[in-house]
Amino acid sequence: MSPIRIACVAGAFFVLCCVQPVNGQEDAPPVRVVEYAYSFVRPPFIHPKIIQDLSTWLSDRGDQVVAINLSDAQGSNRYFGDVGVNATDGQCPFVYTEKESQRFSYQYIGMTQSGVHVLYTSDRGDGSGVFTQLMLLAIEFDYGIDCCDWDAQTAIRADRKRLLIKKLGEIVLGDRWAGQLSVRGNELRIGRDEGHFSQSEGTTLSHSRADRVLKIDIHPSNPLDFAQHGHSCASETKP
């Protein structure tokens, strides 16, 4: 059973915080990209190890890995391994990779109007903790050099098209957090914690007993909606 429910949370919401636009532009509809078959929501799935590499270690702070080239990473030896899928009732599936007692998984929550993709991630190590976060991502094209064609060139040019998955940041939910999540417009709605430690006292999201809203004022310069990622997995979800 999924530890979260992607649905509209009933009741009042309030703005928790606001992030200023990075470029001040108005929202532009993300460009649909169909030449890449892999997806967060249907097979072939983006490998969970790619998302795991973008995650900050529990022992670190800040961001270390901020972008990965999906064009070359997907299907590579570096990100090789079985991908497991746990289906959910009317929601996006949990996609995971595991080794012995360790498991890393993600579930797609949605895409903002401005083109920011939101994933729920869960990281279980050798201990009893299951550490959950929300990861905000942008998908965009850039160009790199072709390392195999240098001998035939009089100049080194960046003309090899790449599809990048870029980490914008993470929101820590906490150990064994469970609640409702949804994206509407440019708002990320986070329901009250109903998980294992939901009765704990505190002010962080991992101890929250209230429904909250994060207004995501982030505007990727060239937002991409590839493989219909902007579509909700829960067709019955009402605004």
161-218 per-position pLDDT tens digit: 999 999 999 998 888 888 889 999 999 999 888 776 665 544 455 455 568 888 999 9
pTM of the model: 0.79
Query: Cα–Cα distances in Å, from 137 out to 54, 76, 125, 165, 183?
Result: 10, 21, 24, 7, 13
Whether 148 shows a pLDDT value over 80: the answer reads no
pLDDT score at 70 = 93
Domain ranges (residues) in the chain:
5-226
Residue whose pair of structure tokens reads 């200023």 in the numeric block: 20
pLDDT score at 209 = 59
pLDDT higher at 113 or 23: 113
Contact in structure between 191 and 183 (CB atoms under 8 Å)? no
Residues 6+ apart with CB under 8 A from 60: none
Residue whose pair of structure tokens reads 């890393």 in the numeric block: 104
Residue whose pair of structure tokens reads 């270690």 in the numeric block: 57
75-125 per-position pLDDT tens digit: 999 999 999 999 887 789 999 999 888 899 999 999 999 999 999 999 987
